Amino acid sequence: MDLDYSAEELSFRDEVRAFVRDNLPRDISRKVLEHRRLHKEDIVRWQDILAGKGWLAGLWPEEYGGRGWTPVQAHIFDEETAALGAPPLVPFGLSMVAPVIMAFGSPWQKEHYLARIRENKDWWCQGYSEPGSGSDLASLKTRAQRVSTAEGDHYIVNGQKTWTTLAQFANMIFCLVRTSTEARKQEGISFLLIDMRSPGVTVRPIIMLDGEHSVNEVFFEDVKVPVRNRVGEEGKGWTYAKYLLGYERTNIARVGASKRELVALKEVAQRELRNGGPLAEDPLFAARVAEVEIELMALEMTVMRVLSARGKAPGPEASILKIRGTEIQQTLTELMMEAVGPYALPFDLEAMELDWEGERVGPDYAGPLAAHYFQYRKVSIYGGSNEIQRNIIAQLVLGL
């Protein structure tokens, strides 16, 4: 694999870097680089800027309004935007449900939903996990019964989803529902696109260890969903769900963000003193930083290999990316906490706000690190826990 960028790719990198420097609002980049709290308005504002440039869906094929970026261009975009403090793109619409609609959706779904995703008009969330149906997702119980009315054919949806990320902001949810109890459990599942503003949809917050409201429970009580909002065939939702999960697990690798955090870790290690010198010069700490940097380099090359499989959805190899990517993310947060030592102990949620002017204990960069650390405890669980990913690798990659 050629790891050197071509002249065209270097030109693209310069274009991305210049655009982000000129257009990314300073307050947003500070929040990202300083591990502060991002609000919905921050994310929408940045994604609107990218949509105006035509870069929000740059990796999409041109036939669906994208730029048809190569995997290398997509990697460059991810790396450059992350390095300069851009928020991560919300993936649920752009890189999760959109590929499913492209591959399996009806002409109407492609025309209607893809345009709205590309233009940042919808905020999507994912309705997969349920109480008792997380790792064993095929056991889900949310039921959709098809009925015919004067208004047309509908599904009536009843059930509950949990751990639904950012559902409090979403106006759309792609949802796995059970449309048959007669077939084996994987074959009785369908894939629905549901308007979160429909009567009968209720969102309740789940507050996480870091004190943030980032996940939710979503309840459906006699929610009417037009049949035209079913993706593909009835009972084939499990197939579409697996297709989507390959994209999700590849996205979770987050190489660009980890490279930014590695730079930040090195800077902190230079500032923090141990035994009369910078922590960066401590042999044991330096060895741990070097180890995670090597692992990140290997992950980056593996991600590029997976993305280079043009025209092919990520397969079970995406589980490797998910495991290593999340382990690296967690290691970086752990090393950052160790670097600042006791200054990481205060856990004040107000310190997560950019304009907070309270009394600080220790350097400015230490205040938000405890919440940042807690936030990353969950990354090895969502998208399919790392234990389940190892089973997938054993069965589908190694053939054990």
Give kind and range of the element (H or E) at residue 153: strand 152-161
Nearest Cα neighbor of 94 from 115, 118, 76 is 118
Select which of 248, 272, 300, 317 is catalytic.
248
Burial class (CB in 10 A: 0-12, 13-18, 19+), 392: buried
CB within 8 Å of 310: residues ≥ 6 apart: 71
Is the distance from CB of 155 to CB of 225 less than 8 angstroms? yes
**What is the rounded CA–CA span in Å between residue 228 and residue 155?**
10
CA distance 342 to 336: 12
Catalytic (active site) residue 338: no
Q: What single letter denotes the amino acid at residue 346?
A: P
Between CA 350 and CA 366 the distance in angstroms is 13
Q: Would you say 75 and 255 are in contact if contact means Cβ atoms under 8 Å apart?
A: yes
The CA angle 376-378-381, to the nearest 5 degrees, is 135
Q: What angle do CA 57, 61, 63 make, to 5 degrees?
A: 110
Positions marked active-site:
248
